[in-house]
Structure 1
Amino acid sequence: MGQEDAQAQRLRAITVIRRVRDRIDREYAEPLDVEALARGAHLSAGHLSREFRRVYGESPYAYLMTRRIERAMTLLRRGDLSVTEVCFAVGFSSLGTFSTRFTELVGVAPSAYRRDHSRAAAGIPPCLAKHVTRPVRSRETRTG
């Protein structure tokens, strides 16, 4: 019976971590940090970070940044908002931090992306556009 209890405990832990991920997906534009996410899940920040990384392969902070940048990419492609407006719309409080993170994940500055990629996904179904335009960290694209 001990093995069944351990399995049930692992499943409960995964469910809690999935709820944290779902919260990030819903509230990415809100002022979220690992401590707030951990409090909401009744976990310590360290435990949340370890479990989140174990389940999803990245930290909750990295996942949040990716969600914000994905949304920023969509808004920048639309072309009707300035880079500053997009920065605040996706939850960043600093244009410098937004520009740095955007450039790290996408490979170009937000202003260049806006200029060069507006209408890049025109005619592509949104579900496919999201997949095709998802930011990829530079370390994920390295080979060997």
Structure 2
Amino acid sequence: MDREYARPLDIPSLASDVHLSAGHLSRQFLLAYGETPYAYLMTRRVERAMSLLRTTDASVTDVSIAVGYQSLGTFSTRFTELVGVPPSVYRERGAPFRPGMAPCLVRQLTRPVRNREAPPRPTTLT
């Protein structure tokens, strides 16, 4: 999914590739990553869109198509949910980092916060 983020998500094919049922793959993915495969894919698409908005002059519509969205409205809604501002505002304001900042900090600051939608997993000490 990280490499093929612009393609449509096909859970049955993914499950078949790893020899699991679609339901079992979805449950295991949720346990491992804290979000569903669909939510994970949407986060990867928004991450890539953030990068394109920062580094290119492509229109918001072109960016949305490049990262795999069929609808500009859906892209804008999902982007706003994850980033906190619409794509056009993100492009105007840029990301909250400065040139010369350590790459690990840049990555942290520019990563969408999708996991806030996932329920917290209880921790138990035994």
TM-score, L = length of structure 2 = 0.79
Partner amino acid for 2:85? Answer: V
Per the TM alignment, residue 34 of structure 1 is displaced from its structure 2 partner at its CA by: 2.2
Q: CA deviation at 1:126?
A: 4.3
Note if 1:39 corresponds to 2:35. Answer: no
Which among 97, 103, 106 is matched to residue 74 of structure 2? 97
In the other structure, the counterpart of 1:68 is 45
Q: Does 1 or 2 have the higher relative contact order (CA < 8 Å, sep 6+)?
A: 2
Instruction: Say if 1:77 and 1:119, in contact at 8 Å, map to a contact too.
Output: no
**Contact 1:103/1:110 (CA < 8 Å) preserved in 2?**
yes
In structure 1, what is the Cα distance between the partners aligned to 2:2 and 2:111?
14
2:6 — aligned with what?
29
Deviations 1:19-56 (A, max 9, x none): xxxxx111112222323322322322211110001111
* CA contact 1:79–1:118 (8 Å) conserved in 2: no
Displacement of 1:95: 1.2
Residue of structure 1 in register with 2:30 after alignment: 53
Q: Cα offset for 1:133?
A: 1.0
TM-score normalised according to structure 1 size? 0.70
Q: Greater CA radius of gyration, 1 or 2?
A: 1
AA aligned opposite 1:117? G
Following the alignment from structure 1 to structure 2, what is the Cα–Cα distance between the partners of residues 27 and 132?
A: 23
Amino acid at match of 1:66: T
The partner residue of 1:136 within 113, 123, 126 is 113
Moved more, 123-132 or 106-115: 123-132
Mark the runs of 5 or more structure 2 residues left unpaired by the alignment.
118-126
RMSD: 2.2
Give every structure 1 segment of 4 or more consecutive aligned residues whose post-TM-superposition deviation is greater than 6 Å: none
Whether 2:93 is the aligned partner of 1:116: answer: yes
